[in-house]
């Protein structure tokens, strides 16, 4: 095995690589160094972060109050889930006014103060743009549904009932799985890929696109630093609505993603919005394959900055996952984007259960080391890391037992659907306990006081019972906490450009329990060893002599002799190589 793989990746950026070093005082500008590649994104689900007015729902003032905490993590940007006016059928992903703040969250003044507070601390803000659909309570939809000749009619997709039933389309959140909803007001069906209260906007209508660009400019003019485009891979549709083969819904992404003129719309958005501001852009979902993903983000295409692909986060299933699969997926994606395009790296977000419960081991014995290991992974891979609030503490799934405990429309309507179809509701509940989105949305655990310091009222979703041990206050004080490990790992990434830009090389792909890889840039090479098991694991190293300093270790010691390293359960190590 060869650990040492010297590699000149950014020849221009890092002098010494080319054999023709740039003058020391004048480093050559690197064409592919970008701020959005170097940032670490911290995702805040505002509903659950910090409540200041006692209504049990987080708010912008709460975020303002906690900005010093966010800063203390060392992260560079916040991605905020939607904060616009919304009737909250899907917690803000159903927008009724794109230029206003949801009442529960506060006011535009609060927003301005929050943005200012972030910028004062050197933190960028990425806004969530939800424009595959709006709320059915948006003025556009009120108009659109009011008559067939209303000027807003073509802002949405309508199918006149006299043509019969429209060809079946699958809805992710509908209790019957049907994406067409009959509306008696004009005797027509409207399309909703998500809930009935989330009608799909008609992107084939240039007026809709212009409205969206104007909205984005409104926020960019306020000074936001980036946009995350929600469900964007689904926006373009064949408005003839051809029939899809029976059973297509089992594989609906193949039929829904990257259709029609989607890339032209993105180039248009780039021309109209992105090119006028210093903003980053990312869309949720990267299509059906690498080709789709590259078409979104390759630099010469002028569409988006980075892909946010699901194959990695989708690996964890209720029955577990294999490390072989995990390594294979992340290695395949890395190599597909090694030379062109850029990826997001994440294992959790607001649509997933908790990081440590899905990918690690949340038992009392292993929660701490496995949460640290997972954060080490995210922060040592190539791509822009996205870290979800609470995962820096090792927060765990709450594991509701009954459907009445859930608040998430996808869980509630999914349950109804299984019941309607005579399916196995017990199995469904079991799967929810593992994978439900509400697991990842319980309130942030700030301290050991009532409701974990999140609110003085009854929280919209219960606080996890483990908050007395797992909370910011306790973990701040403990040098060996998951939180302090996270901070160290953030600093390590900042100190070592190899962790951002360096070549990734998988070592010992067949090792059953250890994920080992190097990251190398110029004359620096780092070795990452992650034991993804609850047993000790040995790893033979032919070239131990090259091992230098231990840069990160989630245990106090390293067991190593001349040709092997022995890792403790879930031990995570980063070494420099000589």
Residue from 302, 313, 380 nearest 341 by CA: 302
Where do the H-state alpha helices sit in 121-249? 139-146, 206-222
Please state the separation of Cα 224 from the chain's center in Å: 18
C-alpha–C-alpha distance, residues 343 and 359, integer Å: 20
The HSE-up count of residue 82 (CA atoms within 13 Å, CB side) is 26
Which of 406/486 has CB closer to ligand GLC? 406
Residue from the set 32, 65, 137, 351 that interacts with ligand GLC by CB under 6 A: 351
Phi, psi dihedrals of residue 484, rounded to the nearest 5°: -70, -30
Residue from the set 51, 89, 284, 303 that interacts with ligand GLC by CB under 6 A: 284
Which of 202/553 has CB closer to ligand GLC? 202
230 is known as an active-site residue:
yes
Least distance in angstroms from the C-beta of 94 to ligand GLC = 7
Which of 195/361 has CB closer to ligand GLC? 195
Q: Is 130 in the site for ligand GLC (CB under 6 A)?
A: yes
Least distance in angstroms from the C-beta of 98 to ligand GLC = 14
Least distance in angstroms from the C-beta of 208 to ligand GLC = 16
Q: Which two tokens stand for residue 166?
A: 């429209």
Going from the C-alpha of 321 to that of each of 107, 380, 386, 512, 570, the distances in angstroms are 44, 21, 21, 12, 15
Q: Are 222 and 121 in contact (CB under 8 A)?
A: no
Least distance in angstroms from the C-beta of 331 to ligand GLC = 26
Binding mask 14-33 for ligand GLC (x = CB under 6 A): --------------------
Residue from the set 90, 136, 200, 292 that interacts with ligand GLC by CB under 6 A: 90
Which of 94, 174, 284, 524 is an active site residue? 284
Least distance in angstroms from the C-beta of 185 to ligand GLC = 24
Which of 435/497 has CB closer to ligand GLC? 435
Least distance in angstroms from the C-beta of 366 to ligand GLC = 29
C-alpha–C-alpha distance, residues 491 and 505, integer Å: 22
First and final C-alpha spacing in the chain: 16
Going from the C-alpha of 337 to that of each of 175, 211, 310, 378, the distances in angstroms are 38, 33, 15, 17
Which of 90/475 has CB closer to ligand GLC? 90
Q: Is 194 in the site for ligand GLC (CB under 6 A)?
A: yes
Which of 118/229 has CB closer to ligand GLC? 229
Q: Is 231 in the site for ligand GLC (CB under 6 A)?
A: yes
Map residue 239 onto helix, strand or coil: coil
C-alpha–C-alpha distance, residues 35 and 362, integer Å: 34
- Nearest-10 Cα torsion for 500, 502, 507, 511: 10
Least distance in angstroms from the C-beta of 398 to ligand GLC = 18
Map residue 45 onto helix, strand or coil: coil
Residue from 416, 404, 398 nearest 353 by CA: 398
Q: Which two tokens stand for residue 182?
A: 């009959």
Which of 441/488 has CB closer to ligand GLC? 441
Map residue 562 onto helix, strand or coil: coil
Assign residue 287 a region (left: φ > 0; alpha: ψ between -120 and 50; beta: otherwise). Answer: left
C-alpha–C-alpha distance, residues 8 and 503, integer Å: 8
Which of 90, 110, 178, 230 is an active site residue? 230
Least distance in angstroms from the C-beta of 283 to ligand GLC = 11
The two most distant CA atoms of the chain are separated, in Å, by 80
Q: Which two tokens stand for residue 447?
A: 């301290």
284 is known as an active-site residue:
yes
Extract the runs of DSSP E, i.e. beta strands, from 103-209. Answer: 124-129, 158-160, 180-183, 188-191
With b meaning 16 or more CB within 10 Å and e meaning fewer, what string describes 2-11?
Answer: ebeeebbbbb
Which of 284/438 has CB closer to ligand GLC? 284
Q: Which residues pair with 524 in a beta bridge?
A: 521
Q: Which two tokens stand for residue 562?
A: 């001349």
Q: Which residue is nearest to ligand GLC (CB)?
A: 93
Q: Is 189 in the site for ligand GLC (CB under 6 A)?
A: no
Which of 133/382 has CB closer to ligand GLC? 133
Residue from the set 59, 230, 475, 568 that interacts with ligand GLC by CB under 6 A: 230
At residue 195's C-alpha, the angle toward residues 194 and 196, to 5°, is 125
Q: Is 93 in the site for ligand GLC (CB under 6 A)?
A: yes
Least distance in angstroms from the C-beta of 193 to ligand GLC = 8
Active site residues: 230, 284
Query: Which stretches of the chain bind ligand GLC, using CB under 6 A?
Result: 90, 93, 130, 194, 230-231, 284, 350-351
């Amino acid at each position: 095995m060869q650990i040492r793989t010297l590699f000149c990746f950014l020849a221009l950026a890092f002098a010494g690589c080319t054999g023709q070093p740039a003058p020391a005082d004048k480093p050559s500008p690197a064409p592919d160094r970008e701020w959005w590649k170097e940032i670490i994104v911290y995702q805040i689900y505002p509903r659950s972060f910090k409540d200041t007015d006692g209504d049990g729902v987080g708010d912008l003032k709460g975020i303002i109050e906690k900005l010093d905490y966010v800063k203390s993590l060392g992260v560079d940007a916040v991605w905020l889930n939607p904060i616009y006016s919304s009737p909250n059928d899907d917690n803000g992903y159903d927008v009724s006014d794109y230029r206003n703040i949801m009442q529960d969250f506060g006011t535009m003044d609060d927003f301005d103060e929050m943005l200012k507070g972030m910028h004062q601390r050197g933190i960028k803000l990425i806004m969530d743009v939800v424009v595959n659909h709006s709320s059915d309570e948006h003025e556009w939809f009120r108009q659109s549904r009011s008559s067939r000749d209303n000027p807003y009619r073509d802002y949405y997709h309508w199918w006149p009932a006299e043509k019969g039933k429209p060809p079946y389309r699958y809805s992710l959140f509908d209790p019957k799985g049907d994406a067409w909803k009959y509306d008696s007001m004009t005797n027509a069906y409207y399309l909703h890929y998500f809930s009935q209260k989330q009608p799909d906007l008609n992107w084939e209508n240039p007026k809709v696109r212009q409205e969206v660009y104007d909205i984005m400019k409104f926020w960019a003019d306020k000074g936001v630093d980036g946009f995350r485009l929600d469900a964007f891979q689904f926006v373009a549709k064949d408005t003839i609505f051809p029939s899809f083969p029976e059973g297509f819904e089992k594989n609906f992404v193949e039929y829904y993603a990257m259709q029609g003129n989607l890339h032209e719309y993105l180039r248009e958005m780039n021309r109209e919005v992105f090119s006028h501001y210093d903003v980053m852009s990312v869309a949720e979902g990267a299509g059906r394959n690498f080709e789709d993903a590259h078409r979104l983000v390759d630099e010469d295409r002028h569409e988006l900055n980075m892909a946010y692909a699901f194959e990695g986060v989708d690996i964890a299933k209720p029955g577990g996952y294999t490390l072989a699969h995990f390594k294979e997926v992340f290695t395949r994606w890395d190599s597909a984007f090694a030379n062109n395009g850029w990826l997001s790296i994440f294992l959790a977000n607001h649509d997933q259960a908790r990081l440590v419960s899905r990918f690690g081991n949340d038992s009392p014995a292993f929660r701490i080391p496995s949460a640290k290991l997972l954060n080490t992974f995210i922060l040592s891979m190539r791509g822009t890391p996205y870290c979800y609030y609470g995962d820096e503490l090792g927060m765990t799934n709450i594991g509701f037992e009954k459907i009445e405990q859930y608040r998430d429309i996808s869980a509630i309507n999914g349950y109804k659907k299984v019941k309607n179809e005579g399916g196995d509701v017990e199995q469904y509940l079991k799967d929810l306990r593992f994978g439900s989105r509400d697991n990842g949305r319980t309130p942030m655990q700030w301290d050991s006081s009532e409701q974990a310091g999140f609110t003085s009222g009854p929280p919209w979703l219960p606080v996890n019972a483990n908050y007395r041990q797992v909370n910011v206050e306790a973990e701040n004080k403990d040098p060996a906490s998951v939180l302090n490990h996270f901070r160290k790992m953030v600093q390590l990434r900042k100190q070592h450009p190899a962790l951002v830009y360096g070549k990734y090389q998988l070592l010992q792909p067949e090792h059953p329990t250890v994920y080992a890889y190097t990251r190398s840039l110029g004359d620096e090479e780092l070795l990452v060893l992650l034991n993804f098991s609850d047993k000790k694991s040995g790893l033979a190293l032919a070239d131990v002599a090259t091992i230098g300093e231990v840069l990160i270790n989630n245990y106090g010691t390293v067991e190593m002799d001349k040709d092997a390293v022995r890792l403790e359960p879930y031990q995570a190590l980063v070494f420099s190589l000589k």
